[in-house]
């Protein structure tokens, strides 16, 4: 098997398992929040803590990825994620908060580690498609979460539902063990690694400096942050929104969630293929931004009379448009990053982007309580996306 294909299969499988574990939270959200005695909209804050954990790892954990090796770092993360999900079964709000944060930390190695592996092995002319296929693995994990975890949780409780992602994660970590040696090409054993060095301020400064020092990388990162707000609010609240405001059963809402994730999976492969031919990733993503703003407004205006015959295709389209950009982001980062700084650029850009997953759902939860409505927060999400797309449209025109 060619090395690039080995790398793609390994990173895609690990991305799928990590996403399956992470996306289990919004799928069981209505049952989880009721079980711990908090409002259903609080899933936004719990989901935000998950993203915050990933940011913390990317801020300080890049030396661990380089020293241990990208694939072992992802294996360690998956095992830690299984432990974090196990803690949720305690059913106490403080423990749920801690578990969400730890689950995010466990997912943190995936973006910089997988980017480093594929940057060292991907075929140049198909770079966008290869990175997008890998990112499609994350959406496949979300599809499986909606199709399998929701029915299990509805039948046997949210604790039983979480047993599925725990098992899948541990199996994935074990399955890629034989590939550790072939993919050791992306490892940096001489990299010094000490506990004080891990939390050195330079580990935080270098990734941000790499992004801020490159105007194109910065523009790309601002756009992906805005897109992350959209994706975070759609994914984290999809099931809760349909169960709470449209009186859907959990299994039916889980199916809609699977359709949204499936659209993202298909979209990531398609836009990766298109980007390899257009050679203008930023322009393509700005167009996605405009379309995402419009679709969020449609989602906010969802009539009560619409059933799954209409909601399922709409959710599929929204996933295709609003969640198909991460592969393009990582491919563009690997192309633009200075030599030897790919992991730093990926960490810096992803940290900033993931702030959208933190701030967006958190403010959305506040908005639902303040306005006593789901409509106004969705309108605000669409507005920030339209403003960012408009500003970048002007920026690109001025730069030719």
For residue 280, give the DSSP letter. -
Per-residue tokens: 303: 């009539």
Cα–Cα distance for residue pair 393/400, rounded to 1 Å = 11
3-state percent breakdown (helix, strand, coil) of the chain, nearest 5: 85, 0, 15
User: Once rounded to an integer, what is the mean pLDDT over residues 30-46?
Assistant: 88
- Asked whether 357 and 51 are in contact (CB, 8 A), the reply is yes
Short-list 309, 355, 245, 257, CA closest to 28: 257
Mean pLDDT to the nearest integer, 94-98: 91
Instruction: Give the tens place of pLDDT for each residue, 259-275.
Output: 999 998 888 788 777 76
CA 237 from centre of chain: 14
Q: What is the distance between the alpha carbons of residues 32 and 301, in angstroms, rounded to a whole number?
A: 27
141 Cα distance to chain centroid: 11
Tokens of 167: 């098992």
- Pick from 381, 229, 233, 355: which is nearest to 294 by CA? 381
Average pLDDT over residues 150-166: 91
| Among the ranges given (35-49, 76-90, 164-178, 195-209), the one the predictor scored with the smallest mean pLDDT | 195-209
How sure is the predictor about 196, in pLDDT bands with cuts at 50, 70 and 90?
low
Q: Write the pLDDT tens digit of every residue in 334-370.
A: 777 777 677 678 778 888 998 999 999 999 999 999 9
Answer whether residue 67 shows pLDDT above 90.
Answer: no
Task: Confirm or reject CATH 3.40.640.10 for domain 3-177+201-398, answering yes or no.
Answer: no
Angle between helices 326-336 and 281-300 in degrees, nearest 10? 160
Instruction: State how far the alpha carbon of 15 is from the alpha carbons of 21, 133, 140, 230, 278, in Å.
Output: 10, 10, 9, 21, 26
Domain ranges of the chain: 3-177+201-398
For the chain, what's the residue count?
400
Between helix 29-36 and helix 158-175 the angle, nearest 10°, is: 120
Question: pLDDT: is 65 or 172 the higher one?
Answer: 172
């Amino acid at each position: 098997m060619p090395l690039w294909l080995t790398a793609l299969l390994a990173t895609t499988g690990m991305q799928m398992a990590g996403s399956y574990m992470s996306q289990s939270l919004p799928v069981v959200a209505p049952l989880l929040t009721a079980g711990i005695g908090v409002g259903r909209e609080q899933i936004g804050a719990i989901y935000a803590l998950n993203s915050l954990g990933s940011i913390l790892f990317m801020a300080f954990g890049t030396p661990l990825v380089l020293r241990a090796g990208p694939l072992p770092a992802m294996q360690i993360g998956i095992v830690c994620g299984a432990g974090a999900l196990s803690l949720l079964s305690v059913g106490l709000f403080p423990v749920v908060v801690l578990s969400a944060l730890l689950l995010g930390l466990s997912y943190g190695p995936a973006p910089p580690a997988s980017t480093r592996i594929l940057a060292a092995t991907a075929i140049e002319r198909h770079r966008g498609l290869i990175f997008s296929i890998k990112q499609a693995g994350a959406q496949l994990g979300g599809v499986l979460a909606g199709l399998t975890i929701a029915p299990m949780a509805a039948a046997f409780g949210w604790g039983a539902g979480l047993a599925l992602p725990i098992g899948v994660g541990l199996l994935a970590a074990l399955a890629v063990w034989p590939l550790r040696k072939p993919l050791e090409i992306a490892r940096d054993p001489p990299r010094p690694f000490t506990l004080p060095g891990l939390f050195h301020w330079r580990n935080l400064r270098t990734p941000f400096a790499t992004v801020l020092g490159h105007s194109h990388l910065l523009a790309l990162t601002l756009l992906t942050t805005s897109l992350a707000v959209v994706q975070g609010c759609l994914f984290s609240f999809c099931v809760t929104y349909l169960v709470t405001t449209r009186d859907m059963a959990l299994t039916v809402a889980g199916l809609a969630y699977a359709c949204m994730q499936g659209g993202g999976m298909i979209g990531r492969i398609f836009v990766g293929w298109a980007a390899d031919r257009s050679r203008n990733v930023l322009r393509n993503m700005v167009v996605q931004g405009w379309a995402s703003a419009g679709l969020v407004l449609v989602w906010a205006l969802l009539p009560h009379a619409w059933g799954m015959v209409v909601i399922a295709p709409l959710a599929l389209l929204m996933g295709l448009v609003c969640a198909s950009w991460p592969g393009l982001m990582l491919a563009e980062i690997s192309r633009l990053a200075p030599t030897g700084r790919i992991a730093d650029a990926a960490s810096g850009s992803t940290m900033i982007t993931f702030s959208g997953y933190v701030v967006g759902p958190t403010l959305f939860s506040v908005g639902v309580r303040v306005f006593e409505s789901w409509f106004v927060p969705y309108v605000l999400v669409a507005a920030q996306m339209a403003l960012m797309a408009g500003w970048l449209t002007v920026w690109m025109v001025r730069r030719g």
